[in-house]
Structure 1
Amino acid sequence: MASPPRHGRSLAHKARQRTPGHHYNASFLPAAERAAILGWLGQLHPLWEERYSKHFPPPPGQSQRRLLRPVYWLGNWQFACLDYYRPPKGVKNRCVKAEPFPAVLQRQVAKVEELARRMFRGPDMPEGWHLNTCLVNFYGSRLEDGQWVDTARVGEHKDFEPGPVASLSLGERALIQFVTSSRPGERDEVVLEQWLDDGALQLFGGARWKEQTFHRVQRVDTRGGHVMPPEMPDFKTRRINLTFRYVPDVHVTPFAQLSPEAREDVRPYMETLARHSAFFRAELEREART
């Protein structure tokens, strides 16, 4: 992979300076809490999702594809085939009620929410904001046709959920970049970059970092030799990122209350999750009774 573009002074140096709306703490997670989170992660069964579905087919000229990495969601599950949460219009049938945070994550969330409420005011802190959704991304290499292919990256995107966004990093460090761009795929100026270390917290919000820039994971190191749980037959994880966001509770929908089309699209995923989760088994049983 080519080296990231450089513009003027060291961007890594800039990121270490005080940056309004962006906070980084390299040693946020105590060792005991890190160990507890890893123990919880070892019990997960991440899901491989496909991008499209029967009722949300690929655009013209594109084909079905599997996501680059396995994922797990807490609080609400934004299945890729439902096209994620994109307010103001993309709010119905987007966020499916999911398992609550385990106690060890809820403790981290409480600390992050306290910090965020000190950092952000007014329009940067929506009424009712609280971190009620978590995307667990597994970064590493996947097995394709007998070969291990490195897929540890994320292209330019925005997190459309309102209010501040927080992430916890585990394993190998990753280079995140915030870039100015009129649309994903363009290569405009990198305005901030930061190495995200093992045990680190990143918190960002406000118009500058939520609306005026995209962010991307440019690359994930291999030098630390991290091998992260859980074990998967077709994937080797070297970094895990937990991204916490806010979805208004009114937009979080139990599976049984989704539209018939949305239920049909995500039912296979719900059935897969239910093999290992009492929560998702109960959701399927509730839908069967309606």
Structure 2
Amino acid sequence: MAFPPNRGRSLAHKARQRSPGHHYNASFMSAADRAEALSWLAALHPLWEERYSKHFPPPPGQSQRRLLRPVYWLGNWQFACLDYYHPPKGVLNRCVQAEPFPAVLQRQVTKIEELARRMYRGPDMPARWHLNTCLVNFYGSRLEDGRWVDTARVGEHKDFEPGPVASLSFGERALIQFVTSSRPGERDAVVLEQWLDDGSLQLFGGARWKEQTFHRVQRVDTRTGKTLAPELPDFRTRRINLTFRYVPDEHVIPFAALSPEAREDVRPYMAQLAKGSAFFRDAVAREPTVSPG
């Protein structure tokens, strides 16, 4: 489906002029690659994940909760109930081996990696850096108690994976903001904001954007009124974002190699993924047999 282009001098141009380490290209993907990527995305079976699990229970005073949006991962899957990848301490049993990138996304990754190696040097570019993990976020509205609730946002956070981070956007444009983080609870000063358009690339790295600021998706437009496939029960997707990062390869492990506790926590998700993926069916089949007693 076609989305209307933006007119005039955009925030993208201004951001490029004033923000070393942050790159934006509003028309990164060709029309053919964009169409192929959307066709591939339409065949996915995203998960609704819960934040906590048996071995990673809610903190005192909090309760179990579902994530705001359905997700899918490529390269490796960082389940919410495994508490994601968070070096230096949070590296074990966090990144479960997942499906490789399809050809259309690998073509984009190759171009992004070439661009990143021209942009970043020294400590901003880890020696073995390559984009080997991708989070697919589905932004939209979900049906709650008979009414549609807009959940198309992400709160302030940092990406802890080393090196530059890249994202590709599809559908309605989204406003991303980078905000200061000088003191906890006081992260309201916006140092950069950027509309992320359909078919665009955002690339950021270095201490300025990875360590000294948080970033958040403030809102997602509703101008076109269209939804994106795949069709999901009680959810309407109007934007899909793919965020590519680097996890050191030694920290990515097969499901069968997870600790018994981690396998128990994510086994229901793996079984659900296996219904729509030969890769995950094989991963589940390789799980060690637990002897009784």
Question: Displaced runs of 4+ in structure 1, greater than 3 A?
Answer: 10-14, 182-187
Q: 1:230 to 1:111 in 2, by over 3 A?
A: same
Partner of 1:128: 128
Partner of 1:79: 79
For 1:189 and 1:18, locate their aligned partners in 2 and report how far apart those are by CA, in whole Å: 17
The percent identity for this pair of structures is 85
SS of corresponding position for 2:215 = strand
Q: 1:15 to 1:233 in 2, by over 3 A?
A: same
For 1:203 and 1:154, locate their aligned partners in 2 and report how far apart those are by CA, in whole Å: 18
Partner of 2:202: 202
Partner of 2:95: 95
Q: Deviations over 1:166-213 (max 9, x none)?
A: 000000000000000246754421000000000000000000000000
Q: 1:67 to 1:186 in 2, by over 3 A?
A: farther
Q: 1:103 to 1:246 in 2, by over 3 A?
A: same
For 1:269 and 1:258, locate their aligned partners in 2 and report how far apart those are by CA, in whole Å: 14
- The residue type equivalent to 1:287 in the other structure is E
| Contact 1:14–1:192 (8 Å) recurs in 2 | no
- The residue type equivalent to 2:246 in the other structure is Y
| Contact 2:16–2:22 (8 Å) recurs in 1 | no
Q: How do 1:198-277 and structure 2 match up within 5 A? A: 198-277=198-277
Q: 1:12 to 1:116 in 2, by over 3 A?
A: closer
For 2:69 and 2:111, locate their aligned partners in 1 and report how far apart those are by CA, in whole Å: 28
For 1:61 and 1:271, locate their aligned partners in 2 and report how far apart those are by CA, in whole Å: 30
Q: 1:11 to 1:110 in 2, by over 3 A?
A: closer
1:288 offset after TM fit, Å? 4.0
* Matched positions, count: 281
Partner of 1:27: 27
Q: 1:154 to 1:185 in 2, by over 3 A?
A: farther
TM-score by length of 1: 0.94
For 1:114 and 1:136, locate their aligned partners in 2 and report how far apart those are by CA, in whole Å: 22
| Contact 1:226–1:239 (8 Å) recurs in 2 | no
TM-score by length of 2: 0.93
For 2:61 and 2:20, locate their aligned partners in 1 and report how far apart those are by CA, in whole Å: 42
| Contact 2:161–2:246 (8 Å) recurs in 1 | yes
SS of corresponding position for 1:111 = helix
Partner of 2:282: 282
1:227 offset after TM fit, Å? 1.2
Partner of 2:141: 141
Q: Which runs of 5+ in 2 are unaligned?
A: 1-9
Q: Deviations over 1:49-83 (max 9, x none)?
A: 00000000000111000000000000000000000
| Contact 2:12–2:25 (8 Å) recurs in 1 | no
SS of corresponding position for 2:264 = helix
Partner of 2:68: 68
Q: 1:243 to 1:183 in 2, by over 3 A?
A: farther
| Contact 1:51–1:67 (8 Å) recurs in 2 | yes
1:16 offset after TM fit, Å? 4.5
For 1:221 and 1:27, locate their aligned partners in 2 and report how far apart those are by CA, in whole Å: 18
For 2:234 and 2:183, locate their aligned partners in 1 and report how far apart those are by CA, in whole Å: 33
Q: 1:11 to 1:230 in 2, by over 3 A?
A: closer
- The residue type equivalent to 2:41 in the other structure is L
For 1:184 and 1:201, locate their aligned partners in 2 and report how far apart those are by CA, in whole Å: 30
| Contact 2:133–2:244 (8 Å) recurs in 1 | yes
| Contact 1:156–1:185 (8 Å) recurs in 2 | no
For 2:114 and 2:100, locate their aligned partners in 1 and report how far apart those are by CA, in whole Å: 20
Q: 1:18 to 1:162 in 2, by over 3 A?
A: same
